[in-house]
Amino acid sequence: MLCFYQVSQRALLTKECRLSILRISLLFALVAFASDLQAERSVEDEYKALLWKTAKIIHQYYVEEVHPDSLAQAAVRGIFNSLDPASEYTFNARTQLASEDPARLLNDRFYTLMQMAQAIDENAFYPVTADTLVRFGIAGMMEILDPYSVFLEKRNLDNFNIQTQGKYGGLGFRIQVVYPDSAIAVWSLVHDQTPAALAGVKSGDLITAINNTSTKGMSAGVAADSMRGEPGTSVTLTLERADRPTPFDLTIERREVQMNSVSLATLFPDGTGYIKLDSFQKGSTREVFKAIVELEEQGMERLIFDLRKNGGGYLEEAVQITDLFLPRDCLVAFTEGRRIETAEYITREDALLRDTPLIVLVNHMSASASEIVAGAIQDWDRGLVLGTTTVGKGSVQQIVHIDDRAELKLTMAAWHTPSGRSIDRRMRKDSTLVRGYDKEFKTLRLERIVRGSGGITPDIEVSGRSGSRLYVQLSGIYSLNNQFFYYAREHRLKYPDLTPDFVVGPGDLSAFRAFAENRGFDYISELEAQVEELDKVAEGEEYNQLAKPLSHLTDEIDKIEEQHWQETEDLIAWRLTFAILEKAFGEPVAEAYNVTVDPQVLEARRIIADPSEYQMWFDKGEIGTPAEDSIAQEDGRGDLQ
């Protein structure tokens, strides 16, 4: 068999001549045996093997078959586009007497790719390491897969272990970059027994150096890497605190930090219990079980189970948690894949809460294991789902070990709810929806109509808080200049005797506005932004004609912006109260306040406390409508240390 590839690339030859053209034309006669991959080449064998192993795993186990040519072309695109995004290239494959064996064909294609990488390494004007080429090639292959298939190197593995196992070697606080300080801020402490909390770190501190390395201009991810490490080792932080005249150092010993997956469990005065589950990690079932038992001992009559912003985790934990609400031998979910056997997940124990009224809260950030639980509760008509449509991540990923430096989290199967529906909103990595079927299914007890392929649609659609332009600017969502953070930081020092039942009042709102404006905050309404844009583009006579009408708008803009401040008061009061409590007492106290004013929680409490209305929703014959074309995916929580 002879196989020929030709790759042409326009790239930079020198810094002085950006329009110069480098054309790499490769024509190789290949032999098709795997032993040829061991030939001596300039690209190091360890990196070559990493690229080869990754391609082989994708080809063998991905949920959908990927042709070897597609993988090879994707790797080439990744290499060339990453070296020079403005470049152009052509990729042509000509095969003579092509082998019908896909494994052998894959071998042929990637032998050629290694030869191409060698040619780039030898001919590129600027130095290109083998590590760089391999990273770009793997990134190219991952781009043609679904968004949940991820190549995990050491740092990503650390983050993945935190999400799934709930523990890591670190200090125990969340961070974010804040401006204008360009510093790493201690956003919140995970709990009061973390190494950082016990050493004296406070929410609101600014980290100006890590082990004597300045954090100015440092990303949150790099800072996180610098502070994490093996338990028992130490790290020195240089901190700035509002009540300290000069920076000071704290040396903290890293410990294994355990993250609780149940962030809040509380009983409202009307007998409604509330449990917030942040993730499905090892031990989550035990935490939920404990929370339910304690709430029942306090007199719980009904339960709101909050899975909003819960991105998932271990499938086994999702099944076991569902087991707390459904009778023994109920189907929770089943999975189907190209190379793995169909598996069914069944409840094994009698329900802890078999008949207690139940509402599950979800939103556009509830995914995977959260959708398994919500889907099973809905399909068995065990409880109601309230909120907004979920992500639609109906796929199963498994971790495949590549070597000591990397693993591949690869989608190998799709899962289905008990009614048989797949809720997978199939998305490519560019966020384009791949249309599925909005096929109708029926719930198992009441035979209500439900649909697949677009996430879990709630029985009761209730939106969460909606922001405003003013709120976004105050929050620093785009500028990272968060006025709530800085005000709460100062407030904690000014009022050291603050109690956990604190709520912002009118005087606090006035003080906050004055504080923000003194720090240079200037609210720009949409109208003002449009006027400023007109002012920029108008020239000469056009400017003279526009100047007078535009000047008359100034007073109108001031009135509109003042009205926006008044209309946003409730939203500002909520966010300011949350920020102050979080800085003064930590996340649990802030979350306990939040659920007392959360519009979705309030609506769930109202419905579940009224037996007739609660039952009315089960009497409806149909749930939801066909899937929409897009979905928001965002998270504002800081990186964990």
Report whether 183 contacts 207 (CB < 8 A).
yes
Distance from C-alpha of 496 to C-alpha of 242, rounded to nearest angstrom: 13
Helix or strand (DSSP H, E) at 312? none
Distance from C-alpha of 559 to C-alpha of 198, rounded to nearest angstrom: 49
Output 125-133 pairs: Cβ under 8 A, ≥24 positions apart: 125/12, 125/13, 125/14, 125/22, 126/12, 128/83, 130/42, 130/43, 130/44, 130/47, 130/48, 131/47, 133/43, 133/47, 133/79
Residues near 373 by Cβ (< 8 Å), separated by ≥ 6? Answer: 307, 318, 321, 322, 360
H helix runs in 15-44, sequence order: none
Helix or strand (DSSP H, E) at 344? strand 343-346
**379 counts as catalytic:** yes
Distance from C-alpha of 603 to C-alpha of 267, rounded to nearest angstrom: 16
Catalytic residue from among 203, 263, 284, 368: 368
Dump the DSSP string for 235-286: EEEEEE-TT-SS-EEEEEE-EEEEPPSEEEEEE-TTSEEEEEE--B-TTHHH
> CB neighbours (10 Å) of residue 473?
20
**290 counts as catalytic:** no
Burial 136-169 (b: 16+ CB within 10 A, else e): bbbbbbbebbbbbbbbbeeeeebbeebbbebbbb
Catalytic residue from among 393, 453, 475, 598: 393
Residues near 105 by Cβ (< 8 Å), separated by ≥ 6? Answer: 68, 69, 98, 99
Is the bond preceding 588 in cis, omega lying within 30 degrees of 0?
no
Distance from C-alpha of 299 to C-alpha of 13, rounded to nearest angstrom: 75
Distance from C-alpha of 239 to C-alpha of 599, rounded to nearest angstrom: 38
Catalytic residue from among 108, 278, 306, 379: 379
Distance from C-alpha of 620 to C-alpha of 95, rounded to nearest angstrom: 60
Distance from C-alpha of 489 to C-alpha of 584, rounded to nearest angstrom: 8
Cα 118 to its chain centre, rounded Å, is 37
As a residue count, the chain comes to 641
Which amino acid does the sequence have at 441? F
Which amino acid does the sequence have at 196? A
Determine how β-strand 358-362 pairs with β-strand 384-387: parallel
**555 counts as catalytic:** no
Cite the active site residues.
Answer: 368, 379, 393
